Chains A and B, each alone.
Chain A
Amino acid sequence: MTTEESKRSSPLAAPHDIGAARLAKVYAQAIVEAADRHQCQSEVVEELTHIVEDVLPRVESLTSVLESPRITTSDKTALVSKTFSGRVSTITLNTLLVLANHERLGLLPELVKALRRELDQQAGRREAVFTTANPITPDEQAAILKSVEESLGESLTAHFSVNPDLLGGLVVRIEDTVYDHSVSTSLVSLAERLKQRSIHEIQHRRDRLGSA
């Protein structure tokens, strides 16, 4: 995996298309509210996730059919109702039909991400990425997560990743805030301090350090 890809694939990375992410957020809010009224939030999210993660990759060219502007809205609606009616819950089907009607079926992958984020937010959970230099065991992961949750006083949805460039230590990123206790960052800051200190000494105490 190249660095470019790893930057993109991290759960807290910027979306490919800000506009789509923004739209998906609006749809996600609406879907969560609608599902909430029928008490089937988790079911709807599960079904949509299933469609995006399992169905779409398996059926070749389905994504391009859903996104293509050359296929009319009515054809897409018909396709959606024929494929999914009876197989998913009403709210999920309605969601898909609304998306088809608004020509937004291409938004599905972003929508699932936005839905998860929305549910996390409702539950007061925040997304966190823990990065270490070496892989750590699930027990260690649980222990780290627990101690961080305790010290922050909030619950986190944890993702774990490995980056050998850190050399050691741990970097925790919670939304936009990074708590960095890695060896590489410490070394960089130590180097900076040594440089600053030497410059300071040379500039302010020339007489002691220098011999003409």
Chain B
Amino acid sequence: MKFNTDEIASVLREEIDRYQTGIDVREVGQVLEVGDGIARVWGLSGVMAGEMVEFPGGVTGLAFNLEENSVGVIILGDYLKVNEGDEVRSTGKLLSVPVGDAVIGRVLDPLGNPLDGKGPVTTDKRRPVETLAPGVADRQPVREPLQTGIKAIDAMTPIGRGQRELIIGDRKTGKTAIGIDAIINQKHSGVKCFYVAVGQKDSSVAVAIDVLRKHGAMDYTTVIVAGGSTAAPLQYIAPYSGTAMAEEFMYNGEHALIVYDDLSKQATAYRQLSLLMRRPPGREAYPGDVFYAHSRLLERSAKLSDEHGGGSLTSLPIIETLEGEVSAYIPTNVISITDGQIYLQPDLFFAGQRPAMNVGISVSRVGGAAQTKAMKKVSGGLRLDLASFRELEAFAQLGTDLDAATQSRLDRGYCMVELLKQGQYQPLDIVDQVLSIYAGTRGHLDNVKRDEVAAWESGFLTFVRDQAPEVRSRLEETKALDDETERLLEAAIAEYKRQVQGTKKPEPSLAGTN
């Protein structure tokens, strides 16, 4: 595209004609020392806590520590450009980021600058990075479901819009995969998604963005990146700026989902800043207010009341544990802040159960109210059954002879575990989930071999789609499993079983070949 230079020249001339010089009044200070992403500043006597300050060369900072003789500033940007003796000026403004539709589909840094090479973010709308969470009167209980498309989660630890559900587990247990799957599944739900990558390897972030793009999820997703090589101040503010962008949709009556990947890295960045600022260290050397850092962030996720538009912000914070240690400082903090957690275990992961969710200690404290009636009906008791199956399984490993009833419970358990396995980036529609879980919990899979469960399930879902569409349409319409639908479904399952039986060829016998 070429620009008409005459037009631009006229615009500039107009601007110069109208230009009036005014006195530029500013409050200034002087850099005493600088390094590791922080600066100590002399002066700035009227600066407010959290106010944005400007260094020469356009680098911005945030007044972090107000002391008797100096101001501790965290530098958001290249701190190597800041020198001792430089003039610092206060701006009287709080840090803000661009928001609105312009950020959708973009890859941004925590200050809202584009990282994807697709030009500037064209919008005048901005929101402060740090805002107060909506109060009690502005909220309403969580009641709409947010489908993640993952059978195990939607059935057993359902997530509602406005909920905070923690994803916790050791490294390499599929935590990010759950967040990405949940984002991919929002394709037709109209939920705007935000993926905040804090302290991640840039290569993993590139993979995540690529996956989102391949699944068409970048059409409604914003990725905020503060990678492992970014300075600690940016890693610290990344979750807050991501939340500011997501809040814009919540306050406008829309729905948003934000994945913080991960908050342990953010806590580490915050610890680094606090120690450099000489704030006293507490447990595990984290500063005393690290709980507040996370609680004020996660409190901003909410389901707003109808008077405020009824928008919602759902958050899926991720915490990485070391050797399954959930009683460490940051995991316990975030567990106590969130409305439930999905606990992923490496031994389950390596045993091939993916998502590697430990059903016994994963909970959702508010999501049950948001589950669809049909899902509630088919999955009721599934969580407890599976938990008791795990106990029974441990007992059965002792090798004792089991009675028939115990054996059948074990078989059912194995079959359900198989059924809940699900491939990465393959979220399932909620109706399909209801259909397969119905088949499992009602015992229709008891006679299917364990390694054939997945094939049976996908065959069954195709069968229902092609040959019993009325079951699907009834479920989609009413979202409930009434008697009539159940009867139709039973009939469909019987028919499918008959067809499967018919297509199976008898084993070729050696006797017949001769």
Contacts and interface: CB of A to CB of B under 8 A. Distances in A.
Interface of A: 3-4, 7-8, 13-15, 18, 21-22, 173, 175-181, 185-186, 189-190, 193-194, 197-199, 201-204, 206, 208-212
A181 B24 contact: yes
B416 to A, nearest CB: 55
A211 B1 CA distance: 6
B2 A210 contact: yes
Given A14-B30, A180-B25, 12 more contacts: A13-B30, A15-B42, A22-B68, A176-B29, A178-B26, A190-B19, A194-B12, A198-B8, A198-B12, A203-B122, A209-B3, A211-B2
Nearest to A212: B1
A201 B8 contact: yes
Given A176-B46, A189-B24, A209 B30 contact: no
Nearest to B70: A18
B431 interface: no
Contacts of B42: 14-15, 18
A194 B15 contact: yes
Contacts of A8: 85
A110 B478 CA distance: 81
Contacts, number: 92
Contact of B27 (A22, A178, A193): A178
A198 B3 CA distance: 11
Pairs A-B, 7 closest by C-beta atoms: A14-B42, A180-B24, A14-B30, A7-B85, A186-B21, A203-B122, A176-B43
B32 interface: yes
Contact of A179 (B12, B15, B23, B46): B23
A19 B92 CA distance: 28
Given A22-B68, A181-B23, A7 B30 contact: yes
B24 A209 contact: no
B24 A14 contact: no
A206 B2 CA distance: 10
Contacts of B1: 206, 210-212
B7 A209 contact: yes
Interface of B: 1-4, 7-8, 11-12, 15-16, 19, 21, 23-30, 32, 42-46, 68-70, 85, 89, 120, 122
Contacts of A201: 7-8, 11
Contact of B7 (A14, A179, A208): A208
Which interface residue of B4, B85, B89, B122 has the most chain A CB atoms within 10 A? B85
Contacts of B69: 18, 21-22
B24 A176 contact: no
Nearest to A10: B30
A53 B114 CA distance: 56
Given A18-B70, A179-B23, A201-B11, A210 B4 contact: yes
A10 to B, nearest CB: 9
B118 to A, nearest CB: 13
A136 to B, nearest CB: 18
Given A178-B26, A180-B26, A193 B15 contact: yes
Contacts of A198: 8, 11-12
A197 B30 contact: no
A181 B25 CA distance: 9
Contact of B11 (A15, A173, A197, A203): A197
Contact of A177 (B11, B26, B68, B85): B26
